[in-house]
Structure 1
């Protein structure tokens, strides 16, 4: 065995063993043919493009878009569902943020209407200032999250990927814009936002590959975050009337549930309750939903734990954060157990269902 062939076989270990069993010789031969007759004296190595193609194939095989291998298909459906649920949450918050933006610059600034308790009622910035322009630009970039979810539900994953990245950059950019206000809390805030909104973007890129195109859903599905965002805006505005924004003993129990990780936690717990109580299908329980929720639990728990870096305030605040973190961990374990029980058995890839490799 030549040095180059040995190195190609080492790269191919990225693929599942069942897949390599039927395709390894064919793939090694194709790689060696394209190498141009290099010898061991040349110290040949696989090209980075070849390594990237094998890595991409490994992701496509393990997150299958067809049910030929049920276990890989279950993983693929779970990752795609995690992307869809995460983008739905981001889209809902996009509508929430945009409603607060309209309340500040349309109702309060232009019409002079002040809605008691409504979110986004901070004083508009000075007319003509660069800060005001940045604030208005950010207000409209909030809609990238809604656009990403709409593109995915309408069967356009490529556009959804671009819009999801822009939405994530918009969230992080809003934190950087307030860097002089947040001070030492800026790192904590940016990290929290990345942990909450970043994993669905990664799941979107990994799960929706060329062999797993999303179905085209009705237009009303794309509008669901608008209704959810408006309902959430009304609920949070009403809750802010009865709680103290200074986070004292009278309202400290509520505020940990009203930030992004707190809202994500409530959404995840509701989805987990649905997964645990929904009736079984004729084929048994489906592993995709509990596995998707388990995948989203770990980064959300990390995001919630960030508050303990600079925790201050009344004791009830720390107790509430601890309860939230415990609920997340219990939920994640429960979803993992459900997914493990429903996961299909391992199967080897055989015959024509294995994809033909093209380096």
Structure 2
């Protein structure tokens, strides 16, 4: 840094905060470290007694914190500064908005309702470089337009250009050139419900499961195209599932008959549709007896255990946003849910702002 006359400081970058004290009115920084001095700032600086200023002296191979922050934004969001539409306040690109760099900080905000994705390996790699950071919310979680997704920061006032080039290269190698963060917008879907169980089919008890599903689906752009109650006859259930698929259902939700009792035949019925079984069972409580299958057209068939009917949050709440965002779920990913897969049944449910499913 170097010391210069305040009158000569236009376009220079402050190396320290400038504090203003007005008795009984104000005490605090009038300009922050990293601020770029404008012509209009000079009288203000002189009014607080600053005849001289310490400013950043541009060095070859060094970047200002805001320049480094722009590289972190690109790593997270993708797109160059030119590709991201800039309206003077935010850069919008790939369903995210990025705030203008300030004091080495940029925040990313969702521009749509959708599923938030994080490349965890790349995120860890960036944060291990030091002198910089990216903090995000958990990946594979639902977000709404306006939700904050991540915050980035360059720690020092200046940072080596080569270090920023190295971190960008490392992140892109781990992501295959894709951004570290993504949003998959929710898609319009058609769904059908197949209720199984002789007790419901023969009218011995009322179906209290289907209304729960209708309520959960109503929060999304999902059209219910059909609902049918079936006996404990696996052939009948298979035919009903296939009928709804032929009618254009993207998702078929099967309720009941998911246990291991002799007359619980829903898993067999789903298997006999010819769909690819991803899992029967998940390390999540509530929701262990969950089944997921995909047809060759990537339509989803779900076998939902009874807990979905009475528990506030279950495996269904974890997987539904991913299905609505066309984010295929692999068996390995479901296995990873074991850590965090235990719902604590809090008296006041704060999901998804808790550890369940993360």
TM range (shorter): under 0.3
Larger relative contact order, structure 1 or 2 (CA cutoff 8 Å, min sep 6): 1
Which is greater in Rg? 2
What's the TM-score once normalised by structure 2's chain length? 0.21
